[in-house]
Amino acid sequence: MATRRGFVQAGLGAALGLAAAMGAGGPALAQEAEPIDVAAIYTVPVEQQWVSRIHLALQAAEERGDVTYTFSENVANTDYERVMREYADQGIDLIVGEVFGVERAAREVAADYPDTAFLMGSSFGPAGENFSVFDNWIHEPSYLTGMVAGSMTESNLIGMVGGYPIPEVNRLMHAFMDGAREVNPEVQFLVSFIGSWYDPPAAQEAAFAMIDSGADIMYAERYGVSDAAEERGVYAIGNVIDTQEEYPGTVIASALWHMEPTIDRAIAAVRDGSFTAEDYGPYSYMAHGGGSLAPMSADIIPGDVLDMVEAKRQEILDGLFRVNVNDTEPRSTR
Amino acid sequence: MLGFAVLNPTYETVSDSMLETLDILLTASFWAATLRIATPLIFGTLGELICERAGVLNLGIEGIMVAGALIGWLSVYMGADLVTGVALAFLTGVAFGLLHGALTVPLALSQHVSGIGITLLATSLSYYAYRIILPDVPSPPRIEPFQPIVWPILSEIPLIGPSLFAGQTAMTWLALALVALTAWVLYRTPVGLAVRACGENPAAAEAQGIDVTAVRMGAVAVGSGLMAVGGAFLTMSAFNAFFFEMINGRGWICIALVVFASWRPGKALLGALLFGAFDALQVRLQQTIGGDLPYQLFLMLPFVLSILALIVMSRRAAYPKALMVPYRKGER
């Protein structure tokens, strides 16, 4: 029964497709104006800092009419491969997502669907012909916010609360620490990981403990840290998203990630048929507009610090200064 | 000589960490954190304890806490005051409790299966409702949560002043009061006697004219309500916004704490405080001696210590005799 119905449907579909193609007067012309189909698969809700940047860039592309955008959020890693295949089977042109928990399986799916373009957040390199990778390479603005923190701390103790010490978290933490050390060799760091991406009360507890033992600047990698800083009246440094408006007088500088350069480049590549396996990581660098320093709180940060950070920002943009990349797990230095 | 050189750093690390631990135990911040971490566990453990005392295991706890966390926070976000938010969270828990009760008490279905089903249902429904109500927000909206109550004079006492009488919100005080209330009701009132009788020997309870179905349903409803309030504590007192997955296994910890407590409210408080203390300690140790040891070791600490405590405590635990045994009227 089911087979016969499927056969009839397939036949009908093919006939209709043929008619549509003939009616449109050549598929090539039609494709030029049509938006491409993009689907995103996220393992967390779209409010999560990291994923929200991808979501934002894709929403912008949809508003411009470049793409039709659908997404699945909160997909468990165990379901991830299945959802990828479902979208690929639907004929989606470009699938965006994050494969930190399913690196190998995701590459196998991509190999099975050579006509689909995959652009995935990944700790590893591109694969095959159609599996490109990106990541939040915002170590440059993180370094700059580190300089702010190093200048602003009076206790010479900076607290850092992270989710898990994975490369993309470690890298930004190290860049931040390097920046702080450049302007203040005396500075020490307290580092702790809460073993969850989504436990703001736990992150807040870790931050409270740091503040109570003397930290006067908090590096807010997780939700909950800025709240602790606000409650105890110390400063916080934002990461990935700009929370300065939500925490005025608390978050004084933020390293931002912008996915637009990465997404727009991938869309253009899919459109003109030039999409290949590529590392899109550099499109998150400051030079490409993928990373930036949010406007700093000029009423709190002294002018000479602002000038110094601005000078370093220019050096990075001019290619005169390269921020070190260090993926090892950061540890407390005290 | 060589042996000494190898052993020496280990010895120093151990003695360092012991000194650090002592230092930490003498700070008010540590005790304040202990109570904050313990509060949702106190609510959850009491709730589970009440259900189990009546003979019904409630594995819906994790999901019910998620639902409570959502509804409490959402009510306040939509304009209700904090107390109404807590009340609505409680009622949400009651609703899920009645569902679990209906499946397991009159219908006598597997308590394990129904409980896990409730957890999955409550969790998914919460996420679904969240997304329907807030389809597109850049970050979860924040509310003005419960603020710590500063008691006059008492807050001046060293150590316990700042940690207990200046550092805790109304919800923590509610949790502490509920421990006493639950103990009093269970051991000093006819209602408590009926609940315990239904958990020990429902046939005997029935013979005394107690409606076993009604008592069990009531206990599961009230217990589930408390679980939901425990979830609401996280979004309305410990923090100020709702996040997917923020309950993060706290409900399952409560299940273990009930065993640790030998189904007694006083010991439940002790267990929750112990777990809170271990957790507050690991956060602090991670920052002081964390340079030398992997962070996973510290995250593991509260669980390992709790398992050890569980082994010691549960040797003499007397569980309700009719726990997980459905009662069918007239059946021998």
pLDDT at B10: 56
User: Any CB–CB contact under 8 A between A60 and chain B?
Assistant: no
Name the residue facing A205 among B33, B241, B291 (closest C-beta): B33
What pLDDT shows up at residue B43? 98
Confidence of residue B13 (pLDDT cuts 50, 70, 90): low
Q: Is the pLDDT of residue B4 over 50?
A: no
Query: What average pLDDT does the structure give for chain B?
Result: 90
Q: What is the pLDDT of residues A249-279, one digit of tens each?
A: 999 999 999 999 999 999 999 999 999 999 9
CATH code, A225:
3.40.50.2300
Mean pLDDT across chain A? 89
User: Using a CB-CB distance cutoff of 8 angstroms, which residues of chain B are in contact with residue A205?
Assistant: 33, 36-37, 279-280, 283
Q: What pLDDT sits at residue A30?
A: 42
Residue A98 and residue A170 in one domain: no
Chain A: closest CA distance from residue B62 (Å): 14
What's the whole-number mean pLDDT along residues A226-239?
94
Rounded Cα distance between B286 and A317, Å, is: 37
Tell me the pLDDT tens digit for each residue of A109-139: 999 999 999 999 998 999 999 999 999 999 9
* Same domain, yes or no: A110 and A123: yes
Please check whether residue A210 touches B, CB under 8 A: yes
Tell if the CB–CB gap between B284 and A209 is shorter than 8 Å: yes
Residues A228 and A168 reside in one and the same domain: yes
Q: How confident is the model at residue B258 (pLDDT cuts 50, 70, 90)?
A: very high
| Helix B295-314 and helix B265-288, axial crossing angle in degrees, nearest 10 | 160
**How many C-beta atoms lie closer than 10 Å to residue B113's C-beta?**
12
Tell which wins on pLDDT, A197 or B123: B123
Q: Do B246 and A198 touch (CB under 8 A)?
A: yes
Chain B residues in contact with A191 by the CB 8 A cut-off are: 287, 290
Measure the CA dihedral B94/B96/B100/B101, to 10°: 20
What's the confidence (pLDDT) of residue A226? 94
B295/A333 Cβ within 8 A: no
Q: Is residue A245 part of a domain?
A: yes
Determine, for residues A212 and B27 on separate chains, whether the beta-carbon distance falls below 8 Å.
yes
pLDDT for A26 equals 40
Which residue is closest to A195 within chain B, CA to CA? B299
* Helix and strand counts by DSSP (H, E) for chain A: 11, 11
Q: Which of left, alpha, beta for B165 (phi over 0: left; psi -120 to 50: alpha)?
A: alpha
**Residue B301, pLDDT score:** 85
Number of domains present in the structure of chain A: 2
Whether residues A308 and A171 share a domain: the answer is yes
- With 50 as the cut, is the pLDDT of residue A22 above it? no
More confident residue, B293 or A127: A127
Beta carbons of B139 and A223 less than 8 Å apart? yes
Amino acid identity of residue B71, one-letter, is I
B-facing residues of A in 232-261 (CB < 8 A) are 241, 243, 246
- Within a domain: A21: no
pLDDT at B14: 67
Q: Name the band, by pLDDT with cuts 50, 70 and 90, for residue B15.
A: confident
Residues 6+ apart with CB under 8 A from B245: A196, A197, A198, A199
Indicate if the pLDDT at residue A4 is higher than 80: no
Confidence category of residue A287, pLDDT binned at 50, 70, 90? very high
Structure-model confidence comparison of residues B140 and A61, the more confident one: A61
pLDDT of residue B154: 87
Q: pLDDT by residue (tens digit) across A132-162?
A: 999 999 999 999 999 999 999 999 999 999 9
CB contacts, 8 Å: B236 with chain A: none
pLDDT of residue B160: 82
Q: How far apart are CA A227 and CA B18, in angstroms?
A: 31
B127 interaction partners in chain A (CB closer than 8 Å): 45, 74
Residue A264 lies in a domain: no
A209·B290 Cβ contact <8 A: no
The residue ranking higher by pLDDT, A10 or A159, is A159
Task: Give residues 178 to 197 of A whose Cβ lies within 8 Å of B.
Answer: 190-197
Query: What percent of chain A lies above the pLDDT cut of 70?
Result: 90
Last residue of a domain, one of A134, A168, A202: A134
Residue A185, judged by CB atoms within 10 A of its CB (0-12, 13-18, 19+), counts as: exposed
Tokens read off for A188: 């020490």
Please list, in sequence order, all residues whose beta carbon lies within 8 angstroms of the beta carbon of residue A25, skipping any fewer than 6 positions away: none
What is the predicted pLDDT for the residue at A10? Answer: 46
Say which residue, B251 or A5, is predicted with more confidence: B251
Q: Which domain holds residue A216?
A: 139-257+291-317
pLDDT in tens, B205-235: 999 999 999 999 999 999 999 999 999 999 9
Q: Is the pLDDT of residue B69 over 90?
A: yes
If asked whether residues A147 and A234 sit together in one domain, one would say: yes
- With an 8 Å Cβ cutoff, is A227 touching chain B? yes
Alpha carbon of B240: minimum distance to chain A alpha carbons (Å) = 9
Cβ of B299 within 8 Å of Cβ of A193? The answer is yes
In terms of domains, do A84 and A145 share one? no
> Of A78, A77, A85, which is closest to residue A121 (Cα–Cα)?
A77
Q: CA-nearest residue of chain B to A227?
A: B239
How close A282 comes to chain B (CA, Å)?
Answer: 25
Range in A38-52, A171-185, B214-228 the model is least confident about: A38-52
Least confident window among A160-169, A311-320, B81-90, B171-180: A160-169
Picking from B238, B280, B290, the nearest residue to A331 by CB comes out as B290
What residues does each domain of chain B span? 27-138+168-249
- Predicted confidence at residue B11, as pLDDT, reads 57
Residue B5 has pLDDT above 50, yes or no: no
Is it the case that residue A18 has pLDDT exceeding 50? Answer: no
Whether A165 and A300 map to the same domain: the answer is: yes
Chain B residue with CA closest to A45: the answer is: B244
pLDDT of residue A33: 56
Chain B residues with CB inside 8 Å of A234's CB? Answer: none
Q: Which of A105, A134, A163 represents a domain boundary (last residue)?
A: A134
Distance CA B196, CA B200 (A): 6
Cα distances (angstroms) measured from residue A309 to each of A91, A146, A303, A321, B79: 47, 10, 10, 12, 43
Q: What is the mean pLDDT of residues B269-295?
A: 87
From A116, A134, A152, the end of a domain falls on A134
* pLDDT surpasses 70 at B9: no
Query: Average pLDDT, stretch A95-121?
Result: 95
Which one has a higher pLDDT value, A153 or A27? A153
Do A209 and B280 make contact, defined as CB atoms within 8 angstroms? Answer: yes
Q: Are residues A103 and A173 in the same domain?
A: no
Q: Which residues pair with B244 in a beta bridge?
A: none
**Residue A41 host element (H or E):** strand A36-41
pLDDT given at position A264: 95
Distance CA B139, CA A45 (A): 10
A310 inside domain: yes
| A206 CB within 8 Å of a chain B CB | yes
What are the residues of chain B with a beta carbon less than 8 Å away from any beta carbon of chain A?
27, 29, 33, 36-37, 127, 131, 136-140, 142, 234, 238-241, 243-246, 248, 279-280, 283-284, 286-288, 290-291, 295-296, 298-299
pLDDT at position A19 is: 42
Using alpha carbons, list the distances in angstroms from residue A50 to A138, A156, A325, B240. Answer: 12, 29, 19, 20
* Of the listed ranges A326-330, B2-6, B72-76, B181-185, the one predicted with least confidence: B2-6
Whether this prediction's pTM lies above 0.90 is answered by no
The answer to whether residues A245 and A145 belong to one domain is yes
Between helix B250-260 and helix B295-314 the angle, nearest 10°, is 30
Q: Which of A147-151, A168-172, B159-163, B240-244 has the lowest mean pLDDT?
A: B159-163
What mean pLDDT comes out for the span B237-250?
A: 91
Q: Do A70 and A179 reside in the same domain of the chain?
A: no
The pLDDT value recorded for residue B30 is 92
Is position A284 within any domain? no
